[in-house]
Chains A and B, each alone.
Chain A
């Protein structure tokens, strides 16, 4: 195995759901040894959210399996004093502790930064609750969708004739990404000075930094951006256009007069492209509805890839709207080797998206699939903490560690679960 940038950095990770686990996944990708802590009393809830109502459904959550690769997974009941004692032993030999509970959780366990720093003076701790560690909302509960909701993004997003829109998921992984950046900033400081520190990251504050443009527009001119669908405030055409086939679309964005001229060439310079109402950008913005209708006459006669090639061939920004099935066989994605096919116990062999950047000297790959519940407890407790077989057995007897979740009572057959999920959310690829 080749070297990785964060080799030798150890992270003790209590994060659950998605934002925190995404942060530690990225750090694990980059080579950190991440010890992910769950308990048989309390699974990482992402196992439930994306999981199936089947006997081993907690291992089938695509969301969990997609956000926890390259980590070691242990169970440890932190509600038990012995569990917290073991946690502290891990902190002692670790570099970084990560958590994304609401702030009262770690406080109730007595596992605050001040307490942990006494055990490990060089410790860095990433604390990333929804609203941050201080302020009147600090203990409020949030999921990723809530963070997206309070960021201001939904009210400037949506169809012009509809209400605010959101993706429902982007805030979690984006906040996780910011959390990983925060850890690297703190690690850089520790490398230079030897000093660890607490990172207080409000996911809401992190995501609100994506609102720079609309916020500056309000601050400067008192204007709020209207919901404008896929349109652009200052250039046209800019949209998603229907192509040949069922639910097939191409994106087309023209950003300059030069690009408009190329666009006209690509669609064969029909007479309407020369009409005064489309003469310049300002006119096109004004007559965007008509423009869209005429463009759709052209796109709807073509496959989405055909439309992309005709437009990109003359230098117009255009691309297909790919489904998650199509991405897997996209020639560009394939040539860059973005997806990696990994075999995981229980779920089998599947393609997973890889790391979205290529590092020339320290290539990042998926070295381990997401852990099954408690998969590495024994390894971590014996190899890292020097516990004996007997001690491990006793911990299992006292249900401080384990591999079977408590209270998981689902019994549906996998086929039935898949067909129900498909009825609710899906369609054939």
Chain B
């Protein structure tokens, strides 16, 4: 195994669904040793969520699970048993980071609060990711991505003004919270390794999503108004062309002038009604109509390149299928094929960033409990008899 940036780092992963697993996926793909602890029998609930190949549900072939758990090892452990909790404490020895995203009462309820864990492993960095954080009146509230969007303020201003607020189609809040988990875990580890101590990190998914639009509360405080839900209108746009959609954001005068050149209508530059950005926004419906009629019959990629020749920030808006054909992705080899004994050979999104000297490497996701033997007998030194007994008792 070649040296990777996080080689030597040990992570105990108690996470499930999206936010926690995405956090530990990042750590694992850059080289950390991540041992994922799953419930015997069913494992991470994401294993039971689709998509499945051929729509045949199988806990070993969920696309969501396979993607979010690359490069990890899986062991099973029943944390609802006293013996399971004791084994978890043994697993904690020698670990640098533990990540969990249970609801806030679960870990303390199991007797696994940070104070207890710290006694077992004083240098431990513990990351807890939860919907609303470990404290506060909403700490026990249930939430999905959509509820979090509403709470964060972002939902209110997304969508058309005369319709209901609209969430984006991917679980953005959970990915964002996962990244904050990785950022704070690595920062706390750096602090510890530079002579500090371990610590507990409380990540609130709701607060993390709010930081994706950190200036709107400030706009309200400085200018006294709340931004209106406004859809996507000039100087923004996602507009149809012959074979798909193109999108743009053209905030400056230079952009406006280049757009007029692209549209082969340089006379618009001197049109007094379109002189300033504010005036153009006031007449955005007119301008949009001009662009829409120009786009008719033109191909996405041709428009994209022609616009970029003029240094216009205009791009194609690919659908999921078109993503795979994008020359930039092909040239950089972004998508990677990973083989899995049950899921088969599939194409996955690749590295989120590339390091000059150390590799990103996504190994396939583990089967449920695949590494029980390696971890319990190898790392913890359990005898074959004890291992068999634990299996029999349903602990592992």
Interface string of A312-352 (1 = CB under 8 A from B): 10011111111111111001110110110000000100111
* B249 lies within 8 A of chain A by Cβ: yes
Task: Count residues of A near B (Cβ-Cβ below 8 Å).
Answer: 156
Partner pick for B216 among A8, A157, A324, CB 8 A cutoff: A324
Q: Are B211 and A328 in contact (CB under 8 A)?
A: no
* A236 lies within 8 A of chain B by Cβ: no
* A154 lies within 8 A of chain B by Cβ: yes
Residues in chain B near residue A217, CB distance under 8 A: 50-51, 63, 320
Question: How far apart are the CA atoms of A359 and B159 in the complex, in Å?
Answer: 35
Residues in chain A near residue B52, CB distance under 8 A: 220
Residues in chain B near residue A336, CB distance under 8 A: 133, 135-136, 204, 207
Q: Are B227 and A356 in contact (CB under 8 A)?
A: no
Q: Are A201 and B352 in contact (CB under 8 A)?
A: yes
How many whole Å from A249's CB to the nearest CB in chain B? 6
* B121 lies within 8 A of chain A by Cβ: no
Q: Are B147 and A317 in contact (CB under 8 A)?
A: yes
Q: Are B228 and A168 in contact (CB under 8 A)?
A: no
Q: Are A425 and B170 in contact (CB under 8 A)?
A: no
Question: How far apart are the CA atoms of A232 and B53 in the complex, in Å?
Answer: 20
* A145 lies within 8 A of chain B by Cβ: yes
Partner pick for A49 among B49, B181, B251, B316, CB 8 A cutoff: B251
How many CB-defined contacts (below 8 Å) exist between A and B?
A: 512
Question: How far apart are the CA atoms of A180 and B156 in the complex, in Å?
Answer: 28
Q: Are B135 and A251 in contact (CB under 8 A)?
A: no
How many whole Å from A31's CB to the nearest CB in chain B? 8
Residues in chain A near residue B215, CB distance under 8 A: 50, 62-63, 65-67
* A170 lies within 8 A of chain B by Cβ: yes
Q: Are B150 and A322 in contact (CB under 8 A)?
A: yes
Q: Are B278 and A424 in contact (CB under 8 A)?
A: yes
Nearest CB in chain A to that of B187: its residue: A5
Interface string of B302-338 (1 = CB under 8 A from A): 0000001001111111111101001111011010000
Interface string of B176-208 (1 = CB under 8 A from A): 100111111011111101101111111110011
Partner pick for B194 among A8, A158, A322, A429, CB 8 A cutoff: A8
Residues in chain B near residue A197, CB distance under 8 A: 355-358
Interface string of A380-402 (1 = CB under 8 A from B): 00000000000000000000000
Flag the segment in A81-89, A206-214, A274-282 that touches B: A206-214
Knowing A211-B349, A335-B137, the reply to whether A6 touches B190 (Cβ < 8 A) is yes
Question: How far apart are the CA atoms of A173 and B281 in the complex, in Å?
Answer: 25
Q: Are A164 and B143 in contact (CB under 8 A)?
A: no
Interface string of B125-151 (1 = CB under 8 A from A): 000000011111110011110111111
Interface of A is mostly: mixed
Question: How far apart are the CA atoms of A274 and B299 in the complex, in Å?
Answer: 51
How many whole Å from B98's CB to the nearest CB in chain A? 14
* A204 lies within 8 A of chain B by Cβ: yes
Q: Are B227 and A155 in contact (CB under 8 A)?
A: no
Knowing A251-B149, A319-B147, the reply to whether A357 touches B328 (Cβ < 8 A) is no
Could you tell me which residues of chain A, from 115 to 164, have a CB within 8 Å of some CB in chain B?
A: 128, 131-132, 134-137, 140-146, 149-150, 152-159, 162-164
Residues in chain A near residue B135, CB distance under 8 A: 335-336
Partner pick for B334 among A66, A167, A205, CB 8 A cutoff: A205
Interface string of A174-217 (1 = CB under 8 A from B): 10011111101111110111010111111011101111111111
Q: Are B183 and A213 in contact (CB under 8 A)?
A: no
Task: Count residues of B near A (Cβ-Cβ below 8 Å).
Answer: 153
* B342 lies within 8 A of chain A by Cβ: no
Residues in chain B near residue A131, CB distance under 8 A: 328
Interface string of B18-36 (1 = CB under 8 A from A): 0000100010001000000
Interface of B is mostly: mixed
Q: Are B149 and A166 in contact (CB under 8 A)?
A: no
Flag the segment in B2-10, B261-269, B366-374, B385-393 that touches A: B2-10
Partner pick for A155 among B55, B245, B315, B346, CB 8 A cutoff: B245
Residues in chain A near residue B321, CB distance under 8 A: 218, 224
* B68 lies within 8 A of chain A by Cβ: yes
* A230 lies within 8 A of chain B by Cβ: yes
Residues in chain A near residue B236, CB distance under 8 A: 145, 168
Knowing A357-B184, A426-B225, the reply to whether A208 touches B193 (Cβ < 8 A) is no
Question: How far apart are the CA atoms of A143 and B191 in the complex, in Å?
Answer: 34
* B67 lies within 8 A of chain A by Cβ: yes
Residues in chain A near residue B252, CB distance under 8 A: 48
Q: Are B166 and A184 in contact (CB under 8 A)?
A: no
Knowing A220-B52, A224-B320, A321-B150, the reply to whether A213 touches B171 (Cβ < 8 A) is yes
* B1 lies within 8 A of chain A by Cβ: no
Q: Are A155 and B211 in contact (CB under 8 A)?
A: no
Q: Are B349 and A312 in contact (CB under 8 A)?
A: no
* B238 lies within 8 A of chain A by Cβ: yes
Q: Are B63 and A143 in contact (CB under 8 A)?
A: no
Residue of A67, A198, A361, A418 most packed against chain B (CB within 10 A): A361
Q: Are A211 and B320 in contact (CB under 8 A)?
A: yes
How many whole Å from A208's CB to the nearest CB in chain B? 5
Residues in chain A near residue B153, CB distance under 8 A: 322-324, 326-327
Nearest CB in chain B to that of A60: its residue: B222
Question: How far apart are the CA atoms of A347 and B222 in the complex, in Å?
Answer: 8
Q: Are B191 and A3 in contact (CB under 8 A)?
A: yes
Nearest CB in chain A to that of B8: its residue: A192
Q: Are A30 and B150 in contact (CB under 8 A)?
A: no
Nearest CB in chain A to that of B213: its residue: A169
Partner pick for B191 among A48, A170, A241, A362, CB 8 A cutoff: A362
* A360 lies within 8 A of chain B by Cβ: yes
Task: Contacts A167-B158, A253-B146 known; list 5 others, CB within 8 Å.
Answer: A157-B167, A205-B351, A216-B51, A216-B63, A230-B146
A-B pairs with beta carbons under 8 Å apart, 23 shown: A142-B315, A150-B315, A156-B169, A157-B170, A159-B160, A164-B245, A165-B238, A170-B154, A174-B175, A189-B6, A197-B357, A205-B353, A212-B348, A217-B50, A221-B54, A234-B49, A315-B142, A317-B143, A322-B156, A323-B153, A323-B156, A352-B217, A356-B207
Closest 4 CB pairs of A and B: A216-B63, A426-B225, A356-B207, A149-B247
